[in-house]
Chains A and B, each alone.
Chain A
Amino acid sequence: MSEVSPVSASRRELFDVQSVREDFPALHQEVHGKPLVYLDSAATSLRPQAVIDAVADVYARDCANIHRAVHLLSQRATARFEEAREKVRSFVNAANKSEVVFTRGTTEAINLVAQSWGRAYLREGDEVLVTELEHHSNIVPWQILCQQTGATLVVVPITDRGEVLAEAFEQELSERTRLVALAHVSNALGTVLPVADLIALAHDRGAVVLLDGAQAVSHVDVDVQALDCDFYAFSGHKLYGPTGIGALYAKERLLESMPPYQGGGDMIRSVTFEETTYNDLPYKFEAGTPNIAGAIGLGAAIDYFASFDAQAVHAHERAVLRYATEALEAVPGVRLIGTAPGKVSVLSFLMDAAHPHDIGTIVDSEGVAIRTGHHCAQPVMEHFGIAATARASLGMYNTTGDVDALVAALHKVQEIFG
């Protein structure tokens, strides 16, 4: 049996980026005849072999549906699926496993809250508060909810450095604010929001708070009990795990008060044509056969991540970000968008010489993968009066050498566009 190999204890004490890179097979390839330099982890991170093996092992061995049959394969698959839930619980430090709902990702987790909690509790005239830097997936579900309920979407403006200030936030809070939906970390700018302060302010007004943790989980510590957030949504694929799997943390008393999100198998206790009784938490919110291999893969990703000292990983990324910030600022004609103090992982930038899309194509031809466009955050682009940026983003496997390759590729852009 190919259990995911335990990572040796010595690695926990010393973060060695070269040995980390060995764990990620996708890094070891050439694109356009050049070694791949992957600077797009904010879109999706690469996966370590341990995650790939865990997913393959589900299909190769424990290939059965869960929570159903009495046969051994189903027992093993069920056990591993529920172990993965425990890993997620431990990772975000939820009090109870029943507070962890598996979803397709952050987007589905937010839609679940909007359609289940939101439709049950929002009334005409209520307000949902978001910030100007949210990803579309933390805007559109609330717009849909507002159309359905007659509630109003209220937006907290950002500063020109890309910050959300507590004063600006407090100004938009009102007696009608029922729900506050905030990015923990901005995907377009890298800003870390002062979520502890904002949550306390929102709770003072009696509002519940959802954090969109998609961009945060691999770059900052997450402790849902310490934060005291009511909902926390994140995706596996930005935490070195598979796509198509994510989780919603929700306080138990909230989950208990919420109607089901989707109906189907697994979320019921008994069904007749007259009446259906629903399953216990969290299964009430997990209709249908879930992404079993994805959840187990996410568990493997959490194991992999947890084999390192998180502070050492964050310190490494901060050092590369600092190096990259200075290196990009030294390239003539480059302007960084998003300069909040304490930001993580993301370098959004413009060049005088070329449009972001042209930058993307040219650096790609040098083997450097970055994202260009509006990053699903068009209101952020609007704030800065631009249509798009080029964005380099970091994962735990990136090095200052990757940054040097990007800078060299940007010089190529200038050579062509002169």
Chain B
Amino acid sequence: MDLRELYQEVILDHGKNPRNHKFPEPHNREARGYNPLCGDKITLRLQLDGDTITDVGFIGQGCAISQASCSTMTQAIKGKTLPEVEALFSKFHTMLTSDEGSDDLEALGKLSVFAGVREFPMRVKCATLGWHTLNQALGDAGDEATTE
């Protein structure tokens, strides 16, 4: 178990200075995410034009993993279509939860820095909070996403 694998420079940087850490205007989708285990909270807003996410931002507080994951996610999905975003989340999720890890780190780009989280099962929910919230925002309900 190597902590440096978990706390990579990119994660520390995004955890400390999250990108897109403001609400986009205009926006037409919103969801809140909450991890009851550790109290991490985020609110995600985005502008969906057709099936393209043209703008996205979030405000939140929580651990370095959850904030960095949300930050890198907003960068990764801006300008992407819904099928592209869905494919990305699926790859991201596989990287964190499957026994073998990811078979396609390249496709994940910067998101691959979270590969080390797989070794810390208690922290997987921190890394996926933003993504679950995104799913919620893109779904019908637009309600609160929780990791539980």
Question: Interface of A with B (CB < 8 Å)?
Answer: 32, 354-358, 361-362, 365, 372-374, 381, 387-388, 416-417
A387-B40 contact in complex given A355-B63, A355-B64, C-beta closer than 8 Å = yes
**CA distance in complex: A361, B4 (Å):** 12
Q: Which residues of A have CB within 8 Å of B7?
A: 358, 362, 416-417
**Contact status A373-B12, CB under 8 Å:** no
**Contact status A372-B64, CB under 8 Å:** no
| Count of B interface residues, CB-CB < 8 Å | 19
**CA distance in complex: A372, B126 (Å):** 13
How does the 8 Å CB contact mask read for B1-23 relative to A, with 1 for contact and 0 for none? 10100110000100000000000
**CA distance in complex: A388, B36 (Å):** 10
**Contact status B123-A361, CB under 8 Å:** yes
Q: Closest approach, in angstroms, between the C-beta of B38 and any C-beta of chain A?
A: 5
**Contact status B1-A387, CB under 8 Å:** no
**Contact status B123-A373, CB under 8 Å:** no
Closest residue to A386 on the B side, CB-wise? B39
B73 at the interface (CB under 8 A from A): no
**Contact status A361-B6, CB under 8 Å:** yes
B28 at the interface (CB under 8 A from A): no
Q: Which residues of B76-104 are within 8 A (CB) of A?
A: none
Residue from the list A32, A357, A365 in contact with B63, Cβ < 8 A:
A357
**Contact status A373-B120, CB under 8 Å:** no
Closest residue to A417 on the B side, CB-wise? B12
B62 at the interface (CB under 8 A from A): yes
Known: A387-B38, A387-B62. 10 other contacts (CB 8 A): A354-B63, A355-B62, A355-B63, A357-B62, A358-B64, A361-B6, A372-B38, A387-B39, A388-B38, A417-B64
**CA distance in complex: A387, B35 (Å):** 11
**Contact status A356-B122, CB under 8 Å:** no
Question: Interface of B with A (CB < 8 Å)?
Answer: 1, 3, 6-7, 12, 37-41, 61-65, 120, 122-123, 126
Closest residue to B62 on the A side, CB-wise? A355
Closest residue to A32 on the B side, CB-wise? B1
A388-B39 contact in complex given A355-B63, A416-B7, C-beta closer than 8 Å = yes
**Contact status B39-A381, CB under 8 Å:** yes
**CA distance in complex: A350, B12 (Å):** 18
**Contact status A362-B39, CB under 8 Å:** no
Name 27 interchain pairs, CB-CB below 8 A, sorted by A. A354-B63, A354-B64, A355-B63, A355-B64, A357-B40, A357-B62, A357-B63, A357-B65, A357-B123, A357-B126, A358-B63, A358-B64, A358-B65, A361-B6, A361-B123, A362-B3, A365-B1, A373-B37, A374-B39, A381-B39, A387-B61, A388-B39, A416-B3, A416-B7, A416-B12, A417-B7, A417-B12
Q: Closest approach, in angstroms, between the C-beta of B144 and any C-beta of chain A?
A: 15
**CA distance in complex: A416, B12 (Å):** 9
**CA distance in complex: A193, B122 (Å):** 34
**Contact status B38-A356, CB under 8 Å:** yes
Q: Which residues of B have CB within 8 Å of A416?
A: 3, 7, 12
Q: Closest approach, in angstroms, between the C-beta of B9 and any C-beta of chain A?
A: 11
Q: Which residues of B have CB within 8 Å of A381?
A: 39
**Contact status B41-A387, CB under 8 Å:** yes
**Contact status A365-B62, CB under 8 Å:** no
Q: Which residues of B have CB within 8 Å of A361?
A: 3, 6, 120, 122-123
Residue from the list B3, B61, B126 in contact with A365, Cβ < 8 A:
B3
**CA distance in complex: A339, B123 (Å):** 30
**Contact status A357-B6, CB under 8 Å:** no
Q: Which residues of B have CB within 8 Å of A32?
A: 1
**CA distance in complex: A120, B23 (Å):** 52
Q: Closest approach, in angstroms, between the C-beta of B2 and any C-beta of chain A?
A: 9
**CA distance in complex: A356, B120 (Å):** 16
Q: Which residues of B have CB within 8 Å of A373?
A: 37-39
Closest residue to A373 on the B side, CB-wise? B38
Q: Which of B37, B39, B122 has the most CB of A within 10 A?
A: B39
A357-B38 contact in complex given A365-B3, A416-B12, C-beta closer than 8 Å = yes
